[in-house]
């Protein structure tokens, strides 16, 4: 394979969550199905591999200054798949707050309904607000969540495989529809789940839906090495990204898999303008939307720094940082990514917040279409990723700009597909199907 | 209102589950999205109010001789809503095997995505096979299931109402997106659930999704009286249907509601042909697909008759029937419906199985288009229902025949709408929105 994969986030109003404040942005777009239909049409015209939505099952604390997660991604992306024919749909789902039988059946069903474009992005969900919506007084700790996620995916993948390919015979003469001996119960009894199976639905066009894993903690990496087809990751420095990809490939090999069976998709927040100068100006406009005091406080807190010690414009150097906490509540991947940046040179909270689109962690890449294409090519050539999850800075502008200005450059360079040459998402990721 | 509502079941291959054996039927149609897209297009062209799918989260024992429930209806109908613009989608969901937060958020999301066409058909699920897929050694008894369903719907409806209409202000100048004091936690702590709330998504176009309730037991009727916008019911005799509708309206009034807020949709299995004689012939062809020995045994068992006492052709009279068991495993509505038929005159198991499309309970109505229209009109005029859930006998034939042959007659008679005059499903049901 000499080209990379592109996955496109539909997060609205953008990965700068406060982009709704800009004059051209509709603050209710995140609830508007016609807007999303337009986005996926643009994405499919550009031959993007898949679209994606992050998620968490709770109202975010930031609702006072920005829209939260909003619509359930299973509903939104399942619906949007009907107005496209090739675009994959990567749907974030929590293993902590779903049951494996329902999830397995829903994604197996989605694979039929989309003719092989279903992908589940497995997360364990890290917020106490979610726990309180599901009857838990306390959020389960990271270790417990990942033990549950392991068992969850073990059950889900066995349910997906519960029908042999020749189970349905549909012999009209005898009236025999299926051979029950070819449809297997799984009879799982584990720490978290007891699930008899089988599913009421046979395997879909992909053999099984694509599994994406997004957590960067030790538990997340183990889960990815064992189950993931694709790993979403975050990096502010190229060296960090290369090291992560080497590590995940090594872990996959240790788990007995071919390292090429695990694709790394690196998140990058993209802002595209006609010229570098216009991109700088648009970045300034987005920075001006940020509640910088609050975001600086959140960021320094996530780094384990004492409250009040660093204002938005006080440089933080590597020596200021406490050692990383292994089972911290904050995302391990985002934490490592910010630390890597400070490791290169001191940065102020303001700079860190701006370079990560508000402090969520992913690297902001702002420039002309050529500059953006050059950057992605350089990171790809360095072995930083097998593809990219493109996160529009301001989705109302940057999704279309990326699709119509950057993608043609990547296609001309032979870095990205100019047509969909496989029917299923799995086929495009691995050049063969089913997996 | 001088006209009735029509809801159309997409069950495939048909309410005669063994219709897959007929020469013209594709036995894999129940997994084929292109087939379903065609069905909903036909339904929308006929101005049908909504389409519907029953469901149970387990593989059915009958897989040896007929397809089971198959695709998850949330996935299938959510997807199909994207290729229609007015048709409501009524999605069967189990209160026993879902969590109220996820369900509330998904249907609230679906209401946005469909612009006000989302309906949830609440069932408590009556099969031990489902329990074994969700970590339960034993299926919870009916009383426990209905207590849970009550609490479930209480939580769901409060979550749906957790945002005040004016919660989002989106003031670009100040950066204030929403007023947190207008978005309310529900802080529910009950017997089955603890749910903090609120949802991350405000109310959709219907105010709240339409709630359908389908169970005919005492617990089901109480649930319907309190929460349901629509009650699905079953009746083999017109008197039984009239009595049921009177009863549910009385119960709604006792619960403090206007009886007109609860619409009764009566299930009827429809077989339509050009002439009465052709309809009779097609019915014979369908009867020939039935595994009559097994279905007779199931039917007599469900009636509480001793095994082996009645063969397929032995008449059962009212005097043979044991008293009804209040908390039986089998559907209370289906049982009452079969008993009412036997109460009119003795029937053999074969006749009962045939008249209920294989023994599932709903009345088979077979005839020419005029005959079918006459029958529906007569039942409606008698006060048997506010509308009908049309269940095609052989979906590959009867869905289109009903839509293109029967519906125009009903429209000409002024019994059914000739156009969609309200944007939302709730608006069509109640002539106003939101509810």
Is the pLDDT assigned to residue B138 strictly greater than 90? no
Contact (Cβ atoms closer than 8 angstroms) between residue B133 and residue A89: no
E strand residue ranges, B239-346: 263-273
Which residue in B78, B193, B201 is closest to A70 by CB distance? B201
pLDDT, residue A165, reads 94
Which one has a higher pLDDT value, B327 or B392?
A: B392
Question: Predicted confidence band at B435 (pLDDT cuts at 50, 70, 90)?
Answer: very low
The answer to whether the Cβ–Cβ distance between A76 and B113 falls below 8 Å is: yes
First to last CA, chain A: 17
A21 contacts in chain B (CB < 8 Å): 172, 175
- pLDDT interval class at B217 (50, 70, 90): confident
Q: Is A180 in CB contact (< 8 Å) with chain B? A: yes
**Does a structural domain hold residue A63?**
yes
Q: Which of residues 186-215 of B touch A (CB under 8 A)?
A: 193-202
HEC string for B203-248: CCCCCCCEEEECCCCHHHHHHHHHHCCEEEECCCCHHHHHHHHHHH
Is A419 a member of any domain? yes
Tally of CB atoms within 10 A around A364:
21
pLDDT at A435 over 70: no
Residues B234 and B335 in one domain: no
The position carrying tokens 């699920």 is B125
Q: Would you state the pLDDT for residue B433? A: 55
Residues B404 and B364 sit within 8 Å (Cβ to Cβ): no
Residues A311 and A184 reside in one and the same domain: no
Would you place residue B329 in the very low, low, confident or very high pLDDT band (cuts 50, 70, 90)? low
Query: Chain B: residue nearest A59 by CA?
Result: B200
Q: What is the pLDDT of residue B60?
A: 79
Per-residue pLDDT band at A2 (split at 50, 70, 90): low
A residues 56..85 contacting B (CB < 8 A): 57-60, 63-72, 74-76, 78-83
Q: Which of B63, B110, B199 sits opposite A180 (nearest CB)?
A: B63
Question: Is B177's pLDDT higher than 90?
Answer: yes
Residues A295 and A271 in one domain: no
| Strand partners of residue B91 | B53, B120
Cβ contact B18–A170 (<8 Å): no
Distance from CA of B73 to the nearest CA of A (A): 9
Q: Are A177 and B81 in contact (CB < 8 Å)?
A: no
- Of A52-61, B137-146, B322-331, which gets the smallest average pLDDT? B322-331
Side-chain-side CA neighbours of B207 within 13 Å: the count stands at: 11
How confident is the model at residue B139, as a pLDDT? 78
Are the C-beta atoms of residues A230 and A325 closer than 8 Å to each other?
no
Write out chain B residues lying below 8 Å of A196, CB-based.
129, 132-133
CB–CB contact A113 B71 (8 Å): yes
CA A163/CA A159 separation, integer angstroms: 8
* Interface residue B315 vs chain A (CB under 8 A): no
Task: Pull the structure tokens for residue A13.
Answer: 């109003």
Distance from CA of B136 to the nearest CA of A (A): 7
**Chain A residue with minimal CA distance to B105?**
A72
Cβ–Cβ below 8 Å for A172 and B69: no
Residue at A315 is within a domain: yes
User: Measured between alpha carbons, how far is B402 from B399 in angstroms, rounded to an integer?
Assistant: 5
pLDDT > 70: percent of chain A: 97
Our measurement of the distance from residue A320's CA atom to the centroid of its chain's CA atoms, rounded to an integer in Å, reads 31
**Domain shared by A259 and A327, yes or no:** no
- Please tell me which of the candidates A78, A101, A177 has its beta carbon nearest to residue B64: A177
H or E element at residue B364: strand B363-368
Task: Give the total number of structural domains in chain A.
Answer: 2
Over residues A149-163, mean pLDDT: 97
Q: Tell which B residues from 80 to 109 touch A, by Cβ distance under 8 Å.
A: 80-83, 97-99, 101-102, 105-106, 109
Q: Of A338, A357, A376, which residue constitutes the final position of a domain?
A: A357
pLDDT of residue B1: 47
Looking at the structure, do residues A302 and A335 belong to the same domain, yes or no?
yes
Beta-carbon contacts of A334 under 8 Å, excluding residues fewer than 6 positions away, are A216, A234, A302, A356, A360, A361
- Assess A342–B contact: CB distance below 8 Å, yes or no: no
Count of CB atoms situated within 10 Å of the CB of A169:
12
Nearest CA in chain A to B100: A134
Q: Report the share of chain B in percent with pLDDT over 70.
A: 97
Residues in chain A: 435
Cβ(A428)–Cβ(A422) below 8 Å: yes
Residue A328 has pLDDT above 70, yes or no: no
Quick check: is A284 in a domain? no
Q: In this predicted structure, what is the pLDDT of residue A433?
A: 55
Provide mean pLDDT across the span A307-332: 86
A112 touches chain B (CB under 8 A): yes
With a cut of 90, say whether residue B246 has pLDDT above it: yes
Q: How far is CA B358 from CA B66, B288, B393, in A?
A: 12, 11, 10
Q: What would the mean pLDDT of A425-434 be, rounded to a whole number?
A: 83
Closest residue by Cα to residue A235 from A340, A113, A78: A340
Q: Hey, CA dihedral for A84, A85, A87, A93, is it positive or negative?
A: positive
One domain, residues B342 and B198? no
**Pairwise CB contact (< 8 Å): A31 & B202:** yes
Please report whether residue A248 resides in a domain.
yes
Chain A residues touching B165 at Cβ < 8 A: none
Contact B101 A132 (CB under 8 A): no
Contact A133, A58 (CB under 8 A): yes
B262: left (phi over 0), alpha (psi -120 to 50) or beta: beta
| A224 and A193 share one domain | yes
Contact between A176 and B64 using a beta-carbon 8 Å cutoff:
yes
Q: How far is CA B368 from CA B391, B401, B403, in A?
A: 16, 10, 13
Checking if the pLDDT of A197 tops 50, the result is yes
A35 touches chain B (CB under 8 A): no
Q: What is the pLDDT of residues B27-56, one digit of tens each?
A: 999 999 999 999 999 999 999 999 999 998
Q: How would you class B383 by CB atoms within 10 Å of its CB: exposed for 0-12, middle for 13-18, buried for 19 or more?
A: middle
Lowest-pLDDT range, A220-224, B277-281, B334-338? B334-338
Between A215 and B252, residue with greater pLDDT: B252
What pLDDT score was predicted for residue A327? 62
pLDDT, position A135: 85
What are the tokens at B329?
Answer: 């495993």
- Give the residue, A140 or A393, on which the prediction is more confident: A393
A138 touching chain B per CB within 8 A: no
Give the pLDDT confidence score for residue B61 in this predicted structure.
75
Nearest to A79 among B79, B132, B289 (CB): B79
pLDDT tens digits, residue range A42-94?
Answer: 999 999 999 999 998 888 778 999 998 899 999 999 999 999 999 999 999 99
Residues from chain B that touch A18, judged by Cβ atoms under 8 A, are: 175
Residue A77 lies in a domain: yes
Q: Are residues A142 and A167 in the same domain?
A: yes
Residue that the structure tokens 């982009």 belong to: A19
Is pLDDT of B87 > 50?
Answer: yes
Q: Tokens 């613009």 belong to which residue?
A: B85
Q: Give me the mean pLDDT over the A158-184 stretch.
A: 96
Confidence of residue B4 (pLDDT cuts 50, 70, 90): very high
At which of B342, B357, B372 does a domain end? B357
Q: For residue B135, list chain A residues with Cβ-Cβ distance below 8 A.
A: 193-195
Q: Note whether B202 and B349 are same-domain residues.
A: no
Locate the DSSP E strands across B87-208. 88-94, 118-123, 168-171, 176-178, 188-189, 194-195
Q: Are B73 and B177 contained in the same domain?
A: yes
pLDDT for A326 equals: 67
CA distances B273 to A111, B96, B286, Å, are 36, 40, 13
Same domain, B295 and B274: no
| Residues of B with Cβ-Cβ distance to A291 under 8 angstroms | 175
- C-alpha distance from B411 to closest chain A C-alpha (Å): 31
Check CB contact of A16 with chain B, cutoff 8 Å. no
Q: Between vectors from CA B88 to CA B85 and to CA B89, what angle results, nearest 5°?
A: 115
Q: Smallest Cβ distance to A199: which of B59, B97, B106? A: B59
Q: What value does the mean pLDDT take over residues B97-125? A: 96
The span from the CA of B267 to the CA of B216, in Å, is 13
Q: Are residues A379 and A338 in the same domain?
A: no
Euclidean distance between CA atoms B343 and B253, whole angstroms: 30
Interface test with A, best of B39, B104, B113, B394 (most A CBs within 10 A): B113
Tell whether the model's pLDDT for residue A133 goes beyond 60. yes
Q: Inter-chain contact A28–B98, Cβ cutoff 8 Å?
A: no
Residue of chain A minimizing CA distance to B200: A59
- The reply to whether A282 falls in a domain is no
Rounded distance between C-alpha atoms, residue A168 and residue B68, angstroms: 12
DSSP at B257: S
In this prediction, residues A27-37 reach a mean pLDDT of: 98
In DSSP terms, B46 is beta-bridged to none
Round to whole Å and give the CA distance between A331 and A333.
5
DSSP code per residue over B147-176: HHHHHHHHHHHHHHT-B-TT-EEEETTTTE
CATH label of the domain that carries residue B233: 3.20.20.30
**Does residue A124 lie within any of the structural domains?**
yes
> What is the predicted pLDDT for the residue at A267?
96
CA–CA gap between residue A242 and residue A114 (Å, rounded): 34
Chain B hits for A198, CB-CB cut-off 8 Å, are 59
Q: How many CB pairs under 8 A join A and B?
A: 206
pLDDT exceeds 90 at position A140: no
B427 token code pair = 């608006």
CA dihedral A35, A39, A40, A42 (to 10 degrees): 140
State the nearest Cα–Cα gap between A67 and chain B, in angstroms: 7
From B339, B357, B375, the end of a domain falls on B357
Residue A435 contacts residue A211 (beta carbons within 8 Å):
no
Write out pLDDT tens, residues B250-287: 999 999 999 999 999 999 999 999 999 999 999 999 99
Compute the nearest-CA separation of B100 from chain A (Å).
Answer: 8
Nearest-by-Cβ selection for A200 from B59, B98, B99:
B59
Domain membership of residue B328 as a residue range: 291-357
CB B127: neighbour CB atoms within 10 A? 15
User: Is B287 known as a binding-site position?
Assistant: no
Nearest CA in chain A to B55: A200
């Amino acid at each position: 394979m000499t080209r990379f994969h592109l996955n496109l986030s539909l997060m609205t109003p953008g990965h700068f969550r406060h982009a709704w404040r800009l004059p051209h942005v509709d603050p209710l777009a995140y609830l508007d199905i016609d807007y999303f239909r337009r986005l996926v049409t643009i994405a499919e015209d550009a031959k993007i591999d898949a679209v994606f939505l992050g998620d968490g099952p709770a109202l975010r604390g930031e609702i006072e200054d920005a829209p939260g997660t909003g619509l359930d991604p299973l509903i939104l992306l399942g619906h949007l798949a009907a107005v496209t024919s090739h675009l994959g749909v990567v749907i974030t789902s929590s293993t902590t707050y779903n049951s494996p039988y329902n999830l397995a059946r829903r994604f197996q069903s989605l694979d039929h309904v989309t003719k092989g474009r279903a992908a589940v992005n497995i997360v364990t969900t890290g917020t106490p607000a979610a726990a309180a919506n599901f009857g838990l007084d306390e959020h389960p700790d990271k270790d417990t969540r990942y033990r549950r996620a392991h068992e969850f995916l073990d059950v889900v993948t066995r349910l997906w495989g519960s029908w042999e390919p020749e189970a349905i015979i549909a012999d009209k003469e005898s009236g025999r529809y299926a051979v029950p001996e070819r449809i297997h119960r799984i009879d799982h009894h584990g720490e978290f789940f007891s699930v008899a199976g089988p599913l009421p639905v046979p395997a879909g066009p992909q053999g099984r839906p694509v599994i994406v894993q997004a957590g960067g903690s030790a538990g997340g990496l183990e889960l990815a090495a064992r189950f993931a087809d694709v790993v979403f990751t975050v990096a502010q420095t190229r060296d960090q990204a290369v090291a992560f990809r080497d590590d995940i490939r090594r872990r996959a090999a240790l788990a007995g898999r071919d390292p090429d069976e695990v694709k790394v998709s690196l998140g990058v927040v993209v802002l595209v303008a006609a010229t570098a100068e216009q991109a700088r100006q648009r970045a300034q406009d987005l920075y001006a939307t940020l509640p910088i005091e609050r975001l600086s406080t959140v960021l320094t807190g996530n780094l384990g720094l004492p409250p009040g010690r660093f204002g938005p414009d006080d440089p933080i150097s590597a020596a200021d940082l406490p050692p990383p906490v292994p089972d911290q509540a904050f995302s391990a991947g985002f934490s490592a990514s910010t630390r890597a940046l400070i490791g290169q040179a001191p940065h102020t909270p303001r700079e860190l917040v701006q370079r990560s689109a508000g402090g969520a962690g992913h690297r902001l890449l702002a420039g002309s279409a050529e500059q953006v294409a050059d950057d992605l090519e350089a990171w790809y050539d360095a072995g930083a990723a097998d593809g990219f999850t493109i996160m529009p800075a301001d989705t109302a502008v940057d999704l279309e700009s990326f699709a119509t200005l950057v993608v043609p450059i990547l296609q001309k360079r032979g870095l990205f597909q100019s047509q969909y040459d496989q029917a299923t998402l799995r086929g495009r990721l691995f050049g063969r199907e089913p997996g």
